[in-house]
Every structure is written in structure tokens, then in C-alpha cells.
Amino acid sequence: MTTATTLHTHGHTTLDYDLPLHGAFNPSTTAQGTTPGSFAKRADVGGPYAFASPDTPGMPAPSDKTAWDFLPADWSCTRLSAAPVTPCTKATHDDTHASIEFQSARGQWMRVSYPKNFAAITQLEHARIGFITPEMIRVAQREPHLTAIEVRDEIAAGRMVIPANRVHLAHKLDPMAIGRASKTKINANMGASPISSGTHEEVEKLQWAEKWGADTVMDLSTGGNLDECREALCLNSTVPIGTVPIYSMIIGKKLEDLNEEI
């Protein structure tokens, strides 16, 4: 039921370990059943059953829906039964809508129709019209098991995000992805308090977090100059920065002073 694999690290061979076979009746090592994200089925990147484990005891069946089933109003997606004779790989327009045809990583040709005046801004919006952004290309370089087309398809399916704020991209941000088909990511939490640390110290924490492999950083500061600190982090960070905006609203206030207007 398993296949032996030799793990090599830093030029040294370590002990063999076992990987379950794709599609095995019960690929777990102790016969307790598989878990979501296991090797029970081959990865279906871009499809509805990516990393599904339908034989997991007590677990609901995998959904056959993706983000394609929840398009905005006035959008439509048609999966073509055959490749178009002359694919419309550049958007064509009528009085109210534009449409474009493109091929997924699975070989499926798709025709997407959307409002004529629509202009893609987010990674998801670009993916829905078949466009591969520079950020998707960079993610594929950092995720060597995925192609840029597969990255686009996973974003369009709603299972991958590239947290690449356009303001942050103008500085040092190196685009990365979070999703089921991507590698596991590590987040580092940090932040200044009313009695400790400040902007300089937080930037230093950021640099240490990046040095030791953090993929993202969450700034949980509750003291000091929050706007200054967040700006400094974005200017210096190569990884996505998350914040808690409500902290800016409650600093210096008592709990009983908070209301809906604040």
C-alpha cells in the first residue's frame, strides 16, 4: 500500500519513509483512513477535486463546485466541448459584454463573458479572464511543482491567493501564494505594545523573521505610532504584511467609550 522514498538533505541520506499510493483503498499507515489533503486521489489542480480524500471516514464528500460556480452578476463561463477553430484569445466586444477564450492547465477550453467596461484589478479578476499576471509568474518560480497556468487556474478556482497589495508591490514585496496546491507557509506574529518596542524595533523583528524563513508577517501592534510602524514595515518587507485596523481605533480609549460611530 505504500512506496518507499529516500529523503536527501544537505547532501546526506536519511532514513527512508513511506508515501501512500495514489488511489489506494486505504493509504493511511495505521488503517484509520485518509485525511483531507492526503494522497487518496491525484492532485486535480484547477479542478473541483484538488487533493480530495473521498474515502475519509466520517468526512463529507468533496464539493464539485469551485469559484467558477459563483461568478459576479452579468458574468458567464462556458466549458467548450472542443477547441475553437479560431480561439478568441483577445477580448471581443458587443454592445454590452466582452468575451475571451482560453485553455486551462487541464486542457479544457473556456469562454468567459463579462461586462464590456470591466477592468481587472485583483489577481482573481485577472485569472477569471485567463490573464497570467507577473505575480503569478513569480509564484510559479517559487513553487517549482506548479506552472504559471496552474497558479492562474487555482486562483480562478478560489483555492489560492496572492497577497500582493499594489502599494506594497511598488517597494520590496516578493509575491508569494497561499493555497492548497502551494507549499505550506509560515506566519510570524509580532507587534509593539504601549510599554514596549517601537518602529525601529519592529523593523528589526521583521528582518529577523525574514531571515529565519517567515513567509508572511502579522503586525499586532497595540501601542506606539501605528501608522508610522505599518508604513515602515511595508517599505522594508519582502513578505506580505497583515495588520488589525481596529487597533488604531481603540488606542487611548476606554472600552465604555466605544460605540458604532467610532
6-56: pLDDT as tens digits: 444 444 444 454 544 444 444 455 555 544 444 556 667 887 777 665 555
54 closest CA partner among 41, 45, 64, 67: 41
Rg (CA), the chain: 23
Whether pLDDT at 186 is above 50:
yes
pLDDT of residue 251: 76
Q: Rounded to two decimals, what is the model's pTM?
A: 0.78
Q: Supply the pLDDT for residue 142.
A: 95
**pLDDT tier at 89, thresholds 50, 70, 90:** low
* Nine-digit cell string for 179: 493555497
Considering only residues 186 and 247, tell me which one the structure prediction assigns the higher pLDDT: 186
Judge whether residue 76 has pLDDT over 90: yes
- Give the model's confidence band at 58: pLDDT under 50 very low, under 70 low, under 90 confident, else very high: low
Percent of the chain with pLDDT over 90: 49
3-class state of residue 69 by DSSP: helix
Element (H, E) at 246: helix 246-250
Residues 6+ apart with CB under 8 A from 164: 123, 135, 173, 175, 240
Measured from the Cβ of residue 114, the count of other Cβ atoms closer than 10 Å reads 21
Query: Looking at the predicted structure, is the pLDDT value of residue 262 above 70?
Result: no
pLDDT band at 57 (very low <50, low <70, confident <90, very high): low
Higher-confidence position of 88 and 188: 188
* pLDDT (0 to 100) of residue 140: 96
Domain boundary assignment for the chain: 1-63, 67-160, 187-257
Average pLDDT, the chain: 82
Residue 239, pLDDT > 50, answer: yes
pLDDT at 171 over 70: yes
Identity of the residue numbered 161: V
Cα separation, 103 vs 120, in Å, equals 19
pLDDT at res. 56: 57
Residue 6 is predicted with a pLDDT of: 46
The continuous run of DSSP H or E covering 98 comes out as: strand 97-103
